[in-house]
Amino acid sequence: MQLDNWNLEYLKIVSELGLNIEEDIHSAKELESILLTNRPFRSQNFLDRLNQLLKQPNLIVGSGPSLETDLNSFKQHFNLVNLVTIAVDGSCSLFRQLQIIPNILVTDLDGEWSAIRWAISHGAITLIHAHGDNEYLIKRFFEDNENLSEKTNVWGTTQNMLTTKLFNFGGFTDGDRAIFLSFHFQSPLIGLMGFDFGEIIGKYSTLNPTITKDPIKKRKKFKIALSLLAAYYHDHKGVRFNLTSSGEEIPGFPRLSLQEFKTELIEWNKTQSKEESPKH
């Protein structure tokens, strides 16, 4: 998403949800300060790593109620070697249970911190998001895990309009920010799982015992995420599918079974092999 477009959407969201822009900015500055204190940072190197990963097909895994059934089934029938996995916040806990190390983790620290630590320590490129409601979580997380601020696979994102060294790829919730991350790098093939967007909040969204989520506000955020995807999915030039076995329809992401998605992956890999084969 172009930042000019995001800034307009952000102001609408601020108005709708009564967000405090100054608190968003302060939280972003806090995260930036923590991440820059103990290490030099070259943003281009980090972007290059993301670009290399996201030029491959990817599976973005949310924390909806369908997650457990779907990801278990996926693990049984798929070879994940040629598929980049993006864990969205709380879904990282199930990744850890299944011993699948995600390639990328997108989180605002609402998820289970032990799972987030596990992912970072195993090399997952981790984007920690700063917003006005989680500054205290950012401080506590890095106070409890000082060594993680030095990890070169950890950086931050922001939703405000201030120019900082944090990234802003667009999107509002962890889930749609992960999708807009893939859009930004024009991933050729995207599959969504655990994106129910329904009335029921999945248990992997509520594993952090220190956080109580307002279900009404959560559903409002779901609607905002869906509206953003409806408005901007055309910017993505690749193909997109919704592999979630239940829940709402997602604009720009037609439903596909796991077996059909497997066929799409096989065909994509065949095409790549032909393109990469030596020309005679």
DSSP label of 152 = T
Among 162, 174, 189, residue whose Cα is nearest residue 83: 189
pLDDT tens column, 212-254: 777 888 889 999 999 999 999 999 999 999 999 999 999 999 9
Q: Which residues pair with 250 in a beta bridge?
A: 253
Res 280: pLDDT: 47
Among 239, 277, 279, 259, residue whose Cα is nearest residue 58: 239
Beta strands, E only, 5-119: 58-61, 84-88, 104-107
Tokens 């070259």 — which residue? 42
* Rg for the chain, CA atoms, rounded: 18
Whole-prediction pTM value?
A: 0.94
Between CA 79 and CA 3 the distance in angstroms is 36
* Cα distances (Å, whole numbers) of residue 3 to 159, 163, 172, 266: 10, 11, 13, 35
pLDDT tens column, 107-124: 999 999 999 999 999 999
DSSP-based three-state secondary structure for 16? helix
Task: Out of 72-76, 148-152, 166-170, give the one with best mean pLDDT.
Answer: 166-170
What's the whole-number mean pLDDT along residues 134-150? 91
Helix H or strand E segment including 235: none
Asked if residues 232 and 180 have their Cβ atoms less than 8 Å apart, the reply is: yes
Among 229, 35, 236, residue whose Cα is nearest residue 129: 35
Between CA 28 and CA 24 the distance in angstroms is 6
Asked if residues 21 and 152 have their Cβ atoms less than 8 Å apart, the reply is: no
- 97 pLDDT more than 90: yes
Task: Kindly state the percentage of the chain with pLDDT values over 90.
Answer: 70
Between CA 107 and CA 109 the distance in angstroms is 5
Q: What is the average pLDDT score of the chain?
A: 91
